[in-house]
Structure 1
Amino acid sequence: MKPLQLTDWTKTPERFFRELPMDWTDGLRAAWPDIAGESRILVCSDNHGFTCGGIVSRAIFPDMGPYEDRARDLYNRQYWYIGYLYVHAKHRSEGLGTRWMEAIRTEVPARGFWLVIEKIGLLKFYARSGFHVDRILRIGGEREWLLIVGREDW
C-alpha cells in the first residue's frame, strides 16, 4: 500500500475546522490565532474530498494547563504534539488514521510524538502505531492518558 499523500491546510484552517465534529471546533477556532505559528494542519483527501487529517504542533494549547510542564519537556526533547486527528465517518476502518500517522513520521522532523486521549478505547488504536502510556492524568475528576512514541531512526 502506498503512503498517504499529505496536503498542508495550515494557511486555510477553516477548511479543516469545517470537517471536524462541531464540539471540537469552537475551542480550536478560538485557540488557532495563538497556536497557528507553531502548528501544521496535515490532511488527506480523495476525489470526493477530505478523508482524514490532524494537527501536529509544538504549541501550548489552552487546555494543556494540567500537563503543561510535561508538554514543554517533550517539546524540549524535539517531540511534536498530535491533536484533532479525525477520520471522516465514511472512511473509518480503512486504516487511514494509522496511515496518516505513518505519513507524518516522514513529513515532520521530530524525535517523537505525543498526544492525550480521553477515551480508553482509543488506546488500542494508538498502541498499533507504537504509542504507550507515559502517564495517566486526573483532570476535573476524569481520567485522560498522555501517550508518547519515539522514533527509532532519530
Structure 2
Amino acid sequence: MELINLGLEGDSFFKILPEDWKDVIESVWDDYKKNANIYVFKNALDITAGGIVFRTAPPNMTDFEIGEWQKYVAANFHYIGFLFVDPKYRGKSLGSEWLTALKDQFPDQSYWLTIEDEGLRSFYEKNGFKCVSKSKDKDNPEWIFTFTPRGVVNNWQ
C-alpha cells in the first residue's frame, strides 16, 4: 500500500479514530499541524489505517512523557502517535505495514512513542522498536519505545 501524506487537513483521518482519541487531537490540531504530518493508507472507499508523526512534543503528554520528550526531540526523533487501524480492516497487518512504509519512506529517521497497554509491546518489538523506559506509576504504567535505523547512532541511549 502507498503511504499518503494528508497534509494539514486531518478531518478524514480523525473520523476513524475512537471518540476519546478524537477529542484529544481535534481540539489541538491547529496548534500542532505545522509540526506534524498525518500519513494514511486508503482504499477506494476509506482510510483504512493511519497515524500522526510529530516533529515536536505530542499533545496531551503524561508526566512520564514530559520527563522524557526533550532528549528525543533534541536528538531529532519524531513521535508516532494516534496509530490506528479502522476496525473494519483489522487482521490484515495494516499497522505493521504502516510502520514499515513510514520507515521505508524516511530511512534515516528515528522515532519514539509511548504505549499504555502492555499488550502492544510485542507489536512494536516485532516492528523493530525497543523498550527504553518504563514509568514507575503502577496504577497507570507506560512504556517508551524507540526505533533507530541501522547505521544511525544515538550515543545518549
TM-score (ref. length: structure 1): 0.89
Specify which of 26, 29, 39 is matched with residue 26 of structure 2. 29
Post-superposition CA distance 1:109-149 (Å, at most 9, x none) = 65311111110000011111111211112459310111111
1:73 aligns with 2:38: no
User: Unmatched 5+ residue regions in structure 1?
Assistant: none
Which runs of 5 or more structure 2 residues have no equivalent in the other structure?
A: 153-157
Root mean square deviation of aligned Cα: 1.8
- Name the structure 2 match of 1:103: 101
The whole-number CA distance in structure 1 between the counterparts of 2:22 and 2:38 is: 14
**Contact 1:136/1:143 (8 A) holds in 2:** yes
Give per-residue Cα distances to partners, 1:87-126, cap 9 Å, x unaligned.
Answer: 1112112111111001111223653111111100000111
Which runs of at least 4 in structure 1 moved beyond 3 Å after TM superposition? 108-111, 138-141
SS in 1 for 2:12: helix
Counterpart position of 2:149: 151
- Cα shift at 1:153: 4.3
The alignment's TM-score, normalised by the length of structure 2, stands at 0.88
Q: Does 1:62 align with 2:66?
A: no
User: Alpha carbons of 1:133 and 1:11: their partners in 2 closer, same or farther (altered >3 Å)?
Assistant: same
Count matched residues: 151
Amino acid at match of 1:129: N
Residue deviations 1:14-48 (CA, integer Å, cap 9, x gap): 11111111111111112212211110000001122
Letter of the 1:34 partner, please give it: D
In percent, how many aligned pairs have the same letter? 29
Higher strand content, 1 or 2: 1
Q: In structure 2, give the amino acid aligned to 1:91.
A: Y
Pairwise mapping of residues 4-153 of structure 1 onto structure 2 (< 5 A)? 4-66=1-63, 67-108=65-106, 110-138=108-136, 141-153=139-151
Q: 1:65 to 1:123 in 2, by over 3 A?
A: closer
Matches of 2:133 and 2:84, distance apart in 1:
23
SS of corresponding position for 1:47: coil
Contact preservation (8 Å) 1:35, 1:60: no
Q: Secondary structure, in 3 states, of the residue corresponding to 2:17?
A: coil
